[in-house]
Chains A and B, each alone.
Chain A
Amino acid sequence: MINIKQVDFSYGKTPVLHHIDLLVQEGEMVALLGPNGSGKTTLIKLLSGVLRPTAGDIHLNGSILGRMKRKQIAQCVAVVPQQFSMPFAFNLREVVLLGRTPFLSLFSDEGEQDRRVVEQAIELIGLAPLKDRFFNELSGGERQKAILAMALAQEPKVLLLDEPTAHLDINHQVEILDLVKRLNREQGVTVIAAIHDLNLAAIYFDRLILLKEGRIFTDGNPETLLTAETIEEVFATSVHVSQHPITRSPHVAIIPRL
């Protein structure tokens, strides 16, 4: 599905990613972990095609991403960024409808089919009662869900999420990740998410990729990857790793330095 070959990236003269090699199969659910500035967000942007690699290629379903049209990419890949600001008073339904943009032609507005997809996405995300409310008047969690619904309206094969649970309370964290997991399981959507919370990653994701200073440090399942030694080496923080009492996934507890 996605094949990253020898990708380098730098912002101007500041190198961010070095020699990234990564193969993600269709239907995988992958978390990108790593300290701030390790290149997670940049990797998400490269995968979405809004940034181009300085060297190397990214293949999406066999085509080179850099040679695809933006519209073509958007028909396959949807992105949920950390936060959108919306200067105008669009209501929730109108925002979700924006997800159909890659499918509209220049001369026609959305049709019956687009409407149905939008209603379904709103329904799935559980925001139907709020669909006439202004986007800017929603709470942070509701807004994040609306953006996820917009991404779903794109009917993506690949869903990229950049810190989808940052700034959210635990209820919204669980709701969002439950939903992403369901999409992955039931519709086979390939999910790649940059995420900070190691425990959430361990619970929801099958494959973790740990980035350090722009390189892939390790790549594997939560059980083998989330060890106290590895985490200490990447994050320079002492932790204690135990088992989650219910999910049996690794559970990382920080050890304060004071």
Chain B
Amino acid sequence: MFTRLKKNRRLLILVALGAILLLCMLIAVSIGAVPISPLTIIEMTLNKMGISHFSPTWPPSAETILFQIRLPRVIASALVGAALASAGVLFQGMLRNPMADPYIIGTSAGAAFGATIAMMLPISIVFLSFGLVPIAAFLGALGAVLLVYNLARVGGKTPIVSMLLAGFAISAMLTAILFFMVTLSGRPELLQNIYSFLMGSISVSGWNQIIIIAPLIIGGIVAARFLASRLNALSLGEEGAAYLGINVEREKLLVLGLGSLLTAAAVSMSGLVGFVGLVVPHAVRLVLGADHRLLLPASALTGAAFIVLADLLARTLLAPREIPLGVITAIIGAPFFIYLLRRHRREYAF
């Protein structure tokens, strides 16, 4: 009886969060230079899916705006948010460190580094470079996180301060090398691209990129959910987890690999968007508890809604000018990070 109640509770929470996410997305697609009413959006979408046949009360341009510009962008935002929040949960669980975040521990910078290198390679075949960027981003993310992890480890533990310092140092180094290489390349026009990449903003044109990245992110989150009960066991530390039958080395690689994959997938659509992986899992943990089996999917949905709204702010606040998305998340996230660091100073010393 109790199990069913618990299971139903979990499902209910996720359904509710899913509904909130859909609502946020609906609001986000309806707002812009040309407002489209939510009702019209629903009718257009149902028509497009072939479910219904409402006679169009909207101009054809509205359809183009919705399906070619806004919807891809909003879906990309949701995917980026879900991926970064899930990666945050994975890294925090594995490092047993509630301050870990793909941006803070250098994974995002690694992904950006890999992606930019791939973009600069003189490969003109479109489909090749298209596949190369995400792969390079993944390798960059994995390389950076392994480096930070090994640098930050002190006697089998990953203390918060050494993790933050290692993450900062690696991020700074990778960014510096990046700018150096761009300067070397003698293509100053790249600087502007890289600059906006580092500031973070959702950049997708049409559906092509989403069709490739979405399965990666959704698959990654589903796979991460299967790791959830082992992440719970890893909360006891490597030794404690081993006593519970966990193959610690294998799990760590799986978690780092998945976290890097999710980060790289997000970075390839948005550049560096910080603090999502920190703020979202923290807030969710506070409300719903620490059990990763609920924390992970709930954080993914909340993260998605968070970035959908943040991106809405980014493109409407100073319209027609656009604020980089990374600026919005940092303005919200950085003070929160500092607050956590101060408040939990004692708790986080282990």
Contact = CB atoms under 8 A, between A and B. Distances in A.
B243 interface: yes
Interface in A42-90: 48-50, 69-75, 78-79, 81, 84-90
Interface in A78-135: 78-79, 81, 84-91, 94, 98-99, 101-102, 104, 106-107, 109-112, 115
B91 to A, nearest CB: 13
Interface string B211-243: 000000000000000100110110111011011
A88 B235 contact: yes
Contact of A98 (B96, B233, B289): B233
Given A70-B246, A71-B245, A89 B237 contact: no
Interface string B87-111: 0000000001110000000000000
Contact of A79 (B237, B243, B350): B243
Which of A48, A86, A87, A89: most chain B Cβ within 10 A?
A87
Interface residues of A, number: 36
A111 B290 CA distance: 20
B247 interface: yes
Contacts of B3: 110-112, 115
Interface residues of B, number: 30
A84 B289 contact: no
Contacts of A91: 289
Contact of A101 (B246, B285, B350): B246
Given A84-B236, A87-B96, A94-B290, A70 B245 contact: yes
Given A70-B242, A99-B244, A89 B290 contact: yes
Nearest to B231: A88
Contacts of B7: 109
A101 B230 contact: yes
Contacts of A89: 285, 289-290
B293 interface: yes
Contacts of B233: 98, 101
B291 interface: yes
A252 B332 CA distance: 63
A61 B68 CA distance: 66
B2 interface: yes
A107 to B, nearest CB: 7
B243 A81 contact: yes
Given A71-B245, A104-B229, A115-B2, A90 B240 contact: no
Interface in B11-40: none
Nearest to B232: A98
Interface in B242-298: 242-247, 285, 289-291, 293
Interface of B: 2-3, 7, 96-98, 226, 229-230, 232-233, 235-237, 239-240, 242-247, 285, 289-291, 293, 347-348, 350
Interface of A: 48-50, 69-75, 78-79, 81, 84-91, 94, 98-99, 101-102, 104, 106-107, 109-112, 115, 136, 154
5 A-B pairs closest in CB distance: A74-B245, A102-B245, A71-B245, A88-B290, A101-B244
